[in-house]
Amino acid sequence: MSEPLALAAATDRLPSPRAYTERKPPKHDRIDQAVAGLVGRGRALLTSWSARRYARLADTALAQDSAIAALSDLELRARVREISARLRARTTFRNADIADAFALIRETSGRISGQRHYGVQMMGAAALLDGRIAQMATGEGKTLTATLAAGVAALAGLPVHVVTVNGYLAERDAELMRPLYTALGLTVGVIKEKQEQPERAQAYACTITYCTNKDLAFDYLRDRVALGQRASDIRLKLESLHAPASRLAQLRLRGLHFAIVDEADSVLIDEARTPLIISAQIGSQFEPETLARAMEVARSLANAEDYILDTSEHRVLITEAGRKRIAGLVLEDGPAWRGRVTREGLVSQALSALHLFHRDEHYILREGKVVIVDANTGRVMPDRSWSDGLHQMVEHKEGVALSSGRSTIARMTYQRFFRRYPRLSGMTGTTRGVVAEFWTVYRLPVVRIPTHRPVKRRHLVDQVLLDETEKWQQVTQRIAELHHRGCPILVGTRSVAASARASDFLTRAGLPHTVLSAAQDGDEAATVAGAGQRGRITVVTNMAGRGTDIKLGPGVEEIGGLHVIMVERQDACRIDDQLAGRSGRQGEPGCFQAILSLDDPLLDKSLVPRGVARRLMPLLGEARAQFFGRHLLRFAQARTERLHARMRADLLRSDQMQERILAFAGHSE
Ligand SMILES: Nc1ncnc2c1ncn2[C@@H]1O[C@H](COP(=O)(O)OP(=O)(O)OP(=O)(O)O)[C@@H](O)[C@H]1O
């Protein structure tokens, strides 16, 4: 725990100037990235040494157990105040202070909720305070682990942001842990989606704030817009001395100090593909007739001849022949069609709306509106819209009222946002394939923390069938078998449409079930609470694929725990691992099985065309066919992972370039 902390600056209500300055960004040319990747891997190996250090620290804390257990509640509180004063008096965290604080927080938690932190959770928390990613297996209790690190930092006077992927988890974790923090004399705030500015500022003013990455980053961006050109280091320093209360009252955050990012791979890696954009309404951007005409033209174009659909990168490329055709078709149309860039832009958005953005996958229709479904979290994003007229084009396709157009006010990337924390840390169950990226982009080494109890989850070998119909037959048969034995079953799908399909098959087979998806998100907590009960069948999208804690009902452990059946592979093997991790938590029994087919959407991105694979598989014999199918899907997934990594690197590069250019002209956000 060596790096100095800006404790003093962190305690005031004003935004810390340091919090608005980025830590030196790592270079991003290819050689540097490759070298840094190797260094990252090397560092990851070295961090297993750190794990030993954290284990020693945990042992020191646990050794105090009986002495602390003998304290009365009043004495315990006095000891907490004492350690807080000791932590505040220093600019660095000392191991001895951390161990003492851990022991006190553990005892307080034990008295309040009966949950005493395990040694491995202390190791994880020590890694967080050390500015690392603690890799702790799914179900190991990262929610409780975070309380140790957040508690120590908050007792030291640092405002802490506990960041997670969705509002349900942020609210659940804050409410679960609130009694513990309150007993430690700390305040807890939660940022909720519909909160207004003053409420948000109040939540951020608490010592510990639970929030989602989206809320946090957008609030930061809005603050930056409010601060405008005044956001330079020196100006902020001066302002923090003289600024009138009114201007500061516009701000939501009080700077960025210490962040603990839960589900770090999702937040820092998967989400980092999408830039954050703040926009303002600009009235109607396109006339309905223009949109209609663009759709008409798009419908008359021929795929592969006039345009190419790049499904992997989710974009449309108009060919030379397509350009000529479009120009010919709109010759007689109004002035909106005269400029080549505008008309091709319009047609290409129409083609995207028609062929790349699908209802119940990328969006749903709710109360006559197009509502985007977040691909990473499976949740709806009611206040977000696609840019450059695409949203209106999709609205036109669906025949709903057109929303107003928007123009960009500010933009930034998650990479650049999170690098602004002087102290950043994270927790996740899965880092497969992204250890190097954590290091190259965020300078975050990964430390693997051992599990508290041995993992008992069984992973059955994947089954690959020729098509969807065969797959669903196999899935319903397997579910019926398990259901007959009373096992609770969780069926993991990729999209709203797939969950509806699963539901249809189950209904036809007479199997009672519950669906949890963006379209059916009624009582999420109750659905999750029921999913581990005897005989329950729950169909979910990746809305419940991460973070959800499914508690087993009475008698379920004896019949093998929760069975997770994955019916489609996700874009990254980490996300599949997360789904598997809904079962076999805390050393419980559980089972994971994938029943897939060659119709899996991932095979759109495969090098071997689906038709060829379908003809080849029956010729190979059962065992070889299964081997071939499994590897085909895994390779397609690996390809998508590489593609997404490239997209993130490109986005970061363009973001840095934009920043360099704007450094001369003004500010970039
Ligand atoms: N020290 C502890 N004592 C008793 N129960 C614990 C302890 N730590 C965690 N648990 C229980 O373990 C379960 C899993 O915890 P939690 O959901 O925080 O795991 P997680 O690591 O965040 O999982 P995921 O990776 O899926 O997000 C919860 O029911 C929690 O109450």
Pairwise CA distance, residues 47 & 131, whole Å: 12
What pLDDT shows up at residue 26? 39
Per-residue pLDDT band for 519 (boundaries 50, 70, 90) equals: confident
Ligand 1 centroid–CA 43 distance in Å is 28
The dihedral through the CA atoms of 185, 190, 195, 196 has a sign that is positive
CA of 145 to the centre of ligand 1 (A): 9
Backbone angle region of 587, left / alpha / beta, with phi > 0 → left and psi within -120 to 50 → alpha: left
Which residue, by CA, sits nearest to atom 16 of ligand 1?
141
Residue nearest to atom 3 of ligand 1 (CA): 115
- pLDDT above 60: residue 493: yes
Q: Give me the chain's average pLDDT, please.
A: 85
In this prediction, residue 36 has a pLDDT band, given cuts at 50, 70 and 90, of low
Q: What is the mean pLDDT of residues 103-121?
A: 96
CA–CA separation, 318 vs 303, rounded Å?
Answer: 10
Q: What is the DSSP letter of 286?
A: S
The residue type at 176: L
Task: Provide the ipTM.
Answer: 0.98
Mean pLDDT of 607-621: 86
pLDDT at position 54: 93
Stronger pLDDT, 94 or 44, i.e. the higher one: 94
Whole-number pLDDT of residue 531 = 95
φ, ψ for residue 244, nearest 5 deg: -70, 150
pLDDT for 48:
67
455 CA to centre of ligand 1 in angstroms: 14
Instruction: Return the pLDDT at 232.
Output: 58
Q: How, if at all, do strands 188-190 and 133-135 pair?
A: unpaired
- Which residue of 113, 144, 427 sits with most ligand 1 atoms within 8 Å of its CB, as the best mutation to test the pocket? 144
159, pLDDT greater than 80: yes
Give the pLDDT score at 12.
29
What local confidence, expressed as pLDDT, does residue 577 receive? 92
pLDDT at 402: 87
Atom of ligand 1 lying closest to residue 117 CA? 1
Question: Ligand 1 center to residue 441 CA distance, Å?
Answer: 29
Whether 57 shows a pLDDT value over 60: the answer reads yes
**Nearest-angstrom CA–CA distance, 468 and 474:** 10
**Residue among 634, 580, 643, 645 nearest 438 (CA):** 645
**Strand 514-516, strand 489-492: pairing:** unpaired
268-278 tens-digit pLDDT: 999 888 888 88
- Taking the centre of ligand 1 as the mean of its atom positions, its distance from the CA of residue 585, in whole angstroms, is 8
pLDDT band at 340 (very low <50, low <70, confident <90, very high): confident
Distance from Cα 173 to the centre of ligand 1, integer Å: 11
- Is residue 283 a known part of a binding site? no
Task: List residues near ligand 1 (CB under 6 A).
Answer: 115-118, 136, 138-144, 429, 547, 549, 581, 585-586
Go through the domains of the chain in sequence order and give each one's CATH number. 25-274+413-448 (3.40.50.300), 288-404 (3.90.1440.10), 456-597 (3.40.50.300)
- The answer on pLDDT for 27 being more than 50 is no
Q: Would the pLDDT of 586 be above 50? A: yes
Q: How far is CA 317 from CA 269, 294, 305, in A?
A: 27, 16, 11
Helix-strand-coil split of the chain, %, nearest 5:
55, 15, 30
In the chain, % of residues over pLDDT 70: 87
Q: Which amino acid residue places its CA nearest to atom 23 of ligand 1?
A: 139
Residue 105 confidence (pLDDT): 97
Distance of alpha carbon 327 from alpha carbon 449, whole angstroms: 61
Alpha-carbon distance of 208 to 189, in angstroms, equals: 6
At residue 338 the predicted structure's pLDDT band, cuts being 50, 70 and 90, is: confident
pLDDT value of residue 660: 64
Q: CB-based burial of residue 39 (10 Å sphere; 0-12 exposed, 13-18 middle, 19+ buried)? A: middle
* Atom number, ligand 1, closest to the C-alpha of residue 548: 26
With the most atoms of ligand 1 within 8 angstroms of its CB, the residue from 116, 123, 140 to mutate is 140
Instruction: For CA atoms 365, 371, 377, 383, give the dihedral sign.
Output: negative
Kindly list the distances between the CA atom of residue 36 and the CA atoms of 40, 271, 310, 436, 448, in Å, as whole numbers in the listed order.
6, 22, 31, 8, 20
Nearest to 65 by CA among 17, 100, 35: 100
Work out which ligand 1 atom sits closest to the CA atom of 582.
26
Choosing from 108, 111, 115, 166 the residue with most ligand 1 atoms within 8 A of its CB, the one to mutate for a pocket test is 115
Instruction: Extract the tokens encoding 411.
Output: 């933009």
Tens of pLDDT, residue by residue over 174-196, are: 999 999 999 999 999 999 988 88
Contacts of 25 (CB under 8 A, 6+ apart): 416, 419, 656
Q: Is the pTM of this model over 0.90?
A: no
**Using an 8 Å Cβ cutoff, are 534 and 486 in contact?**
yes
Mean pLDDT, range 644-657, rounded to an integer: 84
Say how far apart CA 380 and CA 399 lie, in whole Å.
20
Q: What pLDDT score was predicted for residue 291? A: 87
Ranges 202-206, 309-313, 342-346: which has the least confidence: 309-313
On whether 141 is known to bind a ligand per the annotation, the reply is yes
Under the banding of pLDDT at 50, 70 and 90, the label for residue 404 is confident
Q: Would you say residue 306 has pLDDT above 70?
A: yes
- The mean per-residue pLDDT over the stretch 437-444 comes to 92
Q: Is the pLDDT of residue 6 over 90?
A: no
Protein residue whose Cα sits closest to atom 10 of ligand 1: 141
CA distance linking residue 390 with residue 345, whole number of Å: 10
Mean pLDDT throughout 656-663?
64
Residue nearest to atom 2 of ligand 1 (CA): 115
What's the mean pLDDT in 29-51? 60
pLDDT of residue 209: 97
Is the pLDDT higher at 470 or at 9? 470
pLDDT at 374: 85
Supply the pLDDT for residue 9.
Answer: 28
Residue identifier of the C-alpha nearest atom 11 of ligand 1:
141
Q: Please report the atom of ligand 1 found closest to the CA of residue 118.
A: 1
How far, in Å, CA of 220 to CA of 228, rounded?
12
- Percentage of the chain with pLDDT > 90? 57
Range in 108-117, 123-132, 304-313 the model is least confident about: 304-313
Ligand 1 atom nearest residue 140's Cα: 21
Bigger pLDDT: 293 or 8?
A: 293
pLDDT at 235: 61
- pLDDT attached to residue 288: 82
28 pLDDT tier (thresholds 50, 70, 90): very low
Place of tokens 């923390």: 449
Q: What was the pLDDT predicted at 663?
A: 47
- Please tell me the predicted confidence (pLDDT) of residue 283: 65
CA-nearest residue for atom 25, ligand 1, is: 138
288 vs 205, higher pLDDT: 205
Is residue 282 scored above 80 in pLDDT? no
Report CA-CA distances (Å) from 233 to 278, 370, 418. 23, 41, 18
Which residues, at least 6 apart from 75, have a Cβ–Cβ distance to it below 8 Å? none
Which pair of structure tokens corresponds to residue 574? 């980490």
CA of 66 relative to ligand 1 center, distance in Å: 24
Expressed in angstroms and rounded, the spacing between residue 549 Cα and the centre of ligand 1 is: 7
> Coil, helix or strand for 484?
helix
Residue nearest to atom 8 of ligand 1 (CA): 141
- Given a cut of 80, whether residue 88 has pLDDT beyond it is yes
Q: How many angstroms does the Cα of residue 388 sit away from the middle of ligand 1?
A: 43
Report the nearest-CA residue for atom 27 of ligand 1: 547
Contacts of residue 332, defined as CB under 8 A and 6 or more positions apart, other chains included, come to: none
* 527 is an annotated ligand-binding site residue: no
Q: How far is the CA of 175 from the centre of ligand 1 (A)?
A: 15
Q: State yes or no: pLDDT of 264 exceeds 90.
A: yes
pLDDT score at 559: 95
pLDDT greater at residue 236 or residue 225: 225
Comparison of pLDDT for 248 and 462, the residue scoring more? 462
Measured from the Cα of 586, ligand 1's closest atom is 12
- Altogether, the residues listed in the chain come to a count of 669
How far is the centre of ligand 1, averaged over its atoms, from the C-alpha of 116 (Å)?
11
